[in-house]
Structure 1
Amino acid sequence: MKEIIIIMGIAPCLEEDLSNIFKLQDLKEVDFMAIGLDCSDRVLFDIQHVTSYHQEFEQFKARRSKAGGNLDYKTHSHKPPADYIWPLVARSPLSGSSAFLGCQAAIGLGYEKIVLCGCPMQGKNFINKKATDYDKFQKGWVKFAPQMFGDKVKSMSGFTRDLMGFPTKEWLYE
């Protein structure tokens, strides 16, 4: 396990966020966590973890296998089936999304620095052909994230960047 983990959501900014963080941090010095089914075949470099509130792990594995991605990752959720079960803190109507659960899992696993990519928690996602409004998840982040995550979580874009801060080179290497 590395000290830093990059949590990858499925917002349209994912690739741009990854490109920008790789300018600050060597890819070999981080672990990766994919959030949600649509991340299964969007990034094909090795991931170590997959997190979701939805029980999509079999579909994730099938899509990832078909795309040629690694399958030797651990799964995380708030209920079985998953390799790790984490308590549901940010509940609806204050849910923070699966990315919030991913941050909980990363801290629970012992990661010191967590960087969100493709998790701005604003705007809409049209990747899976149905619009998901991410603004609804902001209440959970505002209520729980600053106290639970402190300075361990930073974000590359959007609302979560404004709330948690941007991962500067100094923060990454301190």
Structure 2
Amino acid sequence: MKPLLILGYAACLFDDLAALGPIDADLLAVNRAGLVVGALDHWVSLHPDQLAGFAAARAAAGLVGGFTTWAPDPGPGIDRVTTDVERFGTSSLYAIRIALHKLGYRRAILAGVPLDDAQPYADGSPIPRRLGGHRIAWHHAVAEMDGRVRSLSGWTRSLLGAPSPAWWAA
């Protein structure tokens, strides 16, 4: 199984991807990140109503399908509903849980998921609410991630560590 690259939609997304360089990995987009990448394997959100709208916008932009959508509740365009996955935290943390527990990935790298309040979205729009309050859920999930998740930037990089070629290849 290929490793997994989990894409958030923070302004640092493209810098994170440039710093990482080319990598042969499956791609999982979180929320709006699915609007800015071409090939995509999985698309995850805690908000099925928003994910349906994002999927419609992606299709209208001519971006190809071929991915599976995941959410904790049913809705239009949701392929997999996960009632048994912890949903406390952010959509990115939910995506990590889907990746590790439902999809069976052994390693995942976060790009564009700094969990920093100062970072706007990749399109420059402000984040609508403070993210710092979600950090407690991330702290609680560190043991669950068991060293299998790393981040390229921000607070999540401080919490989880940065990926190295040796870690990625392990």
Q: What is the TM-score normalised by the length of structure 1?
A: 0.85
Percent identity, please. Answer: 25
- 1:102 corresponds, among 76, 95, 103, to 95
Distance 2:125 2:13 in 1: 17
**Aligned positions of 1:6-85 closer than 5 A:** 6-22=5-21, 26-27=22-23, 29-36=24-31, 38-43=32-37, 45-55=38-48, 56-81=50-75, 82-85=78-81
The residue number in structure 2 matching 1:89 is 86
Distance 2:28 2:34 in 1: 11
Q: Give the partner amino acid of 1:17.
A: D
Q: 1:12 to 1:105 in 2, by over 3 A?
A: same
User: What is the distance in 2 between the residues matched to 1:16 and 1:71?
Assistant: 25
2:143 aligned partner: 147
CA deviation after TM superposition for structure 1 residue 128, in Å:
7.2
1:41-76 per-position Cα deviation (integer Å, ceiling 9, x unaligned): 222x20100000112232122211222322111011
Distance 1:163 1:122, change over 3 A: same
List runs of 5+ in structure 1 lacking aligned partners: none
Moved more, 59-68 or 155-164: 59-68
Q: 1:67 to 1:101 in 2, by over 3 A?
A: same
Aligned equivalent of 2:169, options 156, 166, 173: 173
Question: 1:115 is matched with which residue?
Answer: 109
Paired residues of 2:34 and 2:54 also in contact (CA < 8 A): yes
CA contact (8 A) 1:40 1:63 kept: no
Determine the structure 1 residue equivalent to 2:134.
137
C-alpha displacement at 1:149, in angstroms?
0.8
Please provide the CA RMSD for this pair.
1.8
Gaps of 5+ in 2: none
Aligned 8 A contact 2:7 2:27 in 1: yes
Secondary structure at the aligned position of 1:40 is classed as helix
Q: Which amino acid in the other structure matches residue 19 of structure 1?
A: A
Instruction: Calculate the TM-score normalised by the size of structure 2.
Output: 0.86
